[in-house]
Amino acid sequence: DAKTTQPNSMESNEEEPVHLPCNHSTISGTDYIHWYRQLPSQGPEYVIHGLTSNVNNRMASLAIAEDRKSSTLILHRATLRDAAVYYCILLPGANNLFFGTGTRLTVIP
Amino acid sequence: DAGITQSPRHKVTETGTPVTLRCHQTENHRYMYWYRQDPGHGLRLIHYSYGVKDTDKGEVSDGYSVSRSKTEDFLLTLESATSSQTSVYFCAISGRDLTTGELFFGEGSRLTVL
């Protein structure tokens, strides 16, 4: 399975943008890049996904490097409710999501 | 919110006893998954189903079996629970292949095996 590398933790001030990086140097041409987040005591929830082009939705933006070996999840204005563990996941085409340990985001009031 | 219900939400049992966790969905989604989450390991796939009576193993399937006799229910069974199976178990569903779709997770079932 293609793997991802994320920092263990990051901090951000409230109402400032947050850039969460993810490295996936072994990504294949058909792998989609997905992001999920897990709030305390809850199951993970979908944030965004993309293949090659940058993507935007109501929750976040996803910036994908031109060589696709890295990507960045962008939260435009962090709120306290964004404090969570963020997972960057690659889909190799099979019905299996490999979740690593993710990045724990702390939002400082 | 996707209609996913896990039961029981909390269970304490003893080593060697059988345990069944139930995942019930009201979305009529085709795909259903069981994950376990342990500190330092993130989420790991146990088993998944791509239709009624169609199931397959994930990366940590040893000691677990599953059944799906109808679209809405996916059961995870520990035939003889061990302390290493103490974990939080999450059920997830998806209406499409995961390359383009998304997973919806339940709230989790915390299992403690003494």
Reported confidence tier of residue B23, pLDDT bands at 50, 70, 90:
very high
Q: What is the mean pLDDT of chain A?
A: 90
CB-CB under 8 Å, A98 with B100: no
Q: What is the mean pLDDT of chain B?
A: 92
Q: What's the whole-number mean pLDDT along residues B74-93?
A: 96
B92 with A95: CB under 8 angstroms?
no
Q: What's the whole-number mean pLDDT along residues B63-71?
A: 96
**Closest Cβ–Cβ partner in B40, B41, B105 for A43:** B105
Residue of B nearest to A86 (CA): B42
Between A90 and A105, residue with greater pLDDT: A105
Beta carbons within 8 Å of B47's beta carbon, 6+ residues apart: B33, B34, B55, B56, B57, B58, B61, B64, B65, B66, B76
Q: Flag whether pLDDT at A95 surpasses 60.
A: no
Q: How many angstroms separate the CA atoms of A33 and A3, rounded?
A: 11
